[in-house]
Amino acid sequence: MSERSALAARLAPLLLVGALAAALLAGLDDRLTLESADDGAARAVTAAFDAMPDDALVLVGFDPDVGTYAEIRPTVRAVLADLLNRGATLGLVSLTPDGRALAIAELARMDRSEANPRQLIDLGFLPGAEAALVAVARGINGGSQDPIRADLPSPPDLAVVIGGIDLGARSWVEQVQPRIDGLPIVAIAPTVLLPELEPYRASGQLAALIGTPRDGAAYRAQAELGRLERMVDPAAGPSPAAIIVGLLVAIGVLGQAFGSRLAAVMRAARPRDVA
Amino acid sequence: MSGFFGTAQADQIATWVAALATIVVLGGLLGERRVFGWSQHLLAGLTTGFLALLAITEVIVPRIVEPLVADPGGRPELWLGLLLVAAAAAVPWLPRVVAGVPLSITIGTLAAFALGGAVVGTLLPQLAATVAGREATVTDTVVGVAAAGVSGLVLIGFVHGTPRGRVVSLAAAGGRWLMLAGLGGWLGYLLFSRLVLLVDRIAFLVGDWLGLAR
């Protein structure tokens, strides 16, 4: 690698960061919308919430990763505010240490806001991954020795799974759903998990799935949060302008790599033609 | 905006610490490895400390010590669990037959739950969903047939080491290309996901920390 190439490689990330910051500061987000034109995913979530009885109990599997939580954070907060605004009681349980750390932070945040503490049940951390999920299902079915049974006033009407890469909606579908008849599961997951979870949504094993920032933005646009609107930052969500700039840079890098390779192949082929 | 921090002085300090940590990590992109290495050590230390705290306050004390103190004879499974922990800790001094028991139980249990769940929760329902049939709309029917066709081709793509004719070879090649296309699509999702995370960090620096945007 020449000195010029090395310097360019060193400066490229700085230029990317600078371009993203410029996109954020340019004020283009007022003219761009992130919401997906197809709001089917958002409507499915709302329909699942509408189907709950009054004063419903919702079991929230809170296991996002620290690394990917930023992507789903605005949607998660809107979902929690929506459920609380509907009068539901939320029981938060975590099966990963990451999820527990973030659940503690979100519970503290809700405690500082106008959320009614009587609507929040902290079910804590359960170790054991799949085995813990089986214990959760047994506890819901009435196993007196199993965790969470004593803390839940009744069997849940809905499960909302806020998933991450370690443990998420797939594990709930595999371990909890076969053991509890008729428990609908709504999942919120980062984009990277969409290919894994979309088949479960298509087969009906997930009642609803929000798996992209655009679906999340569509849901936030139509959710009625009432006085809990304050729990959700109106400016939350990634900047569409910055995303467009980032994608253009990514396409440029791919094009440059493909072009260099093509040029190398053509250069290699030329002497053979001459020979 | 992360929304984790308020306006109190402690929150301001937390915002500054988070902003400096973000800059240090982004500095790793520019080749600044020493401070970036320290930030990795800091993360590892904080994670270890949090795990220890979580294990003590949410698992060992409330789920093992307290029930055993309250009713020592009423929870035999907890004594059995403690015995397995002791056996795992004493592996270097125990005969191999005994030392292997805790690990075998752990691996066996995890495999049983994972395999059973995969069959009952994923394999059978997804096989049923893949069977093409008449759906509510023509588009759904076409999508169902296409999904069944892709599943079949990808499965044929895994056929190795058996004599096969021209048709099966072509189908297997098609299945492998479809797999590659799927992998490419997944990488696209990964790129988009990571880009959103980078945008979030830049927005944190520009908005929460510097107060310039949004």
Mean pLDDT over residues A180-203, rounded?
A: 92
Q: What sections of B123-165 are H helices per DSSP?
A: 124-130, 138-157
Cβ neighbourhood burial of B25 (10 Å; 0-12, 13-18, 19+): middle
Written in H, E and C, the secondary structure of B39-56 is HHHHHHHHHHHHHHHHHH
Which chain A residues in 166-195 lie under 8 Å from chain B, judged by CB atoms? 170-171, 173-175, 177-178, 190-192, 194-195
Unique residue bearing structure tokens 């998990």: A193
> Which residues of A fall within a CB distance of 8 Å from B114?
130
Interatomic CA distance for residues A167 and A65, integer angstroms: 9
Q: What residue ranges in chain A does DSSP mark as E strands?
A: 57-62, 89-94, 120-125, 158-162, 185-188, 208-210
Render pLDDT for A33-58 as a digit per residue (tens, 0 to 9): 888 778 899 999 999 999 999 989 99
Contact B202 A203 (CB under 8 A): no
Between B118 and A30, the more confident residue is B118
Q: What is the CA radius of gyration of chain B?
A: 27
Render pLDDT for B4-53 as a digit per residue (tens, 0 to 9): 666 678 888 888 999 999 999 988 887 788 899 999 999 999 999 999 99
Domain boundaries, chain B: 130-214
Instruction: Name the least confident of A55-59, A61-65, A244-248, B73-77.
Output: B73-77
> Which residues of B fall within a CB distance of 8 Å from A77?
3
Which residue type occupies A113?
S
Q: Please report, for residues A63, B51, B54, the alpha-carbon distance to residue A98 in angstroms, rounded to integers and kept in the order given.
A: 7, 9, 11
Q: Please compute, for residue B130, the number of CA atoms within 13 A of its CA located in the half-sphere on the CB side.
A: 16
Interatomic CA distance for residues B198 and A256, integer angstroms: 22
Cite the residue boundaries of each domain of chain A with CATH code 3.40.50: 50-231
Distance from CA of A24 to the nearest CA of B (A): 7
Render pLDDT for A217-242 as a digit per residue (tens, 0 to 9): 999 999 988 888 877 776 677 888 99
Interatomic CA distance for residues A68 and B213, integer angstroms: 22
Residue A185 confidence (pLDDT): 96
Mean pLDDT over residues A134-145, rounded?
A: 80
- Phi, psi at A94, each rounded to 5°: -120, 140
Contact B113 A130 (CB under 8 A): yes
What lies within 8 Å, CB to CB, of B172 at 6+ separation is B153, B156, B157, B159, B164
Interatomic CA distance for residues A133 and A162, integer angstroms: 14
Q: Assign residue B33 a region: left if phi > 0, alpha if psi is -120 to 50, beta otherwise?
A: alpha
> Which residues of A fall within a CB distance of 8 Å from B206?
21, 24-25
Number of C-beta neighbours around residue B43 at 10 A: 13
Mean pLDDT over residues A97-105, rounded?
A: 94
Mean pLDDT over residues A121-130, rounded?
A: 90
- Phi, psi at A168, each rounded to 5°: -160, -145
Unique residue bearing structure tokens 């220890």: B52
Q: Quick one: CA dihedral A24, A30, A31, A35, positive or negative? A: positive
Contact B200 A70 (CB under 8 A): yes
Contact A195 B113 (CB under 8 A): no
Q: Quick one: CA dihedral A45, A51, A55, A59, positive or negative? A: negative
Interatomic CA distance for residues A206 and B103, integer angstroms: 34
Q: Could you say which of 3.30.70, 3.40.50, 1.10.540, 1.10.287 is the CATH number of the domain covering A50-231?
A: 3.40.50
B1, B51, B206 member nearest A25 (Cβ): B206
CB-CB contact of A52 with A58 (8 Å):
yes
pLDDT surpassing 90 at residue B91: no
Q: Is the minimum CB–CB distance between B12 and chain A shorter than 8 Å?
A: no
Residue A30 confidence (pLDDT): 79
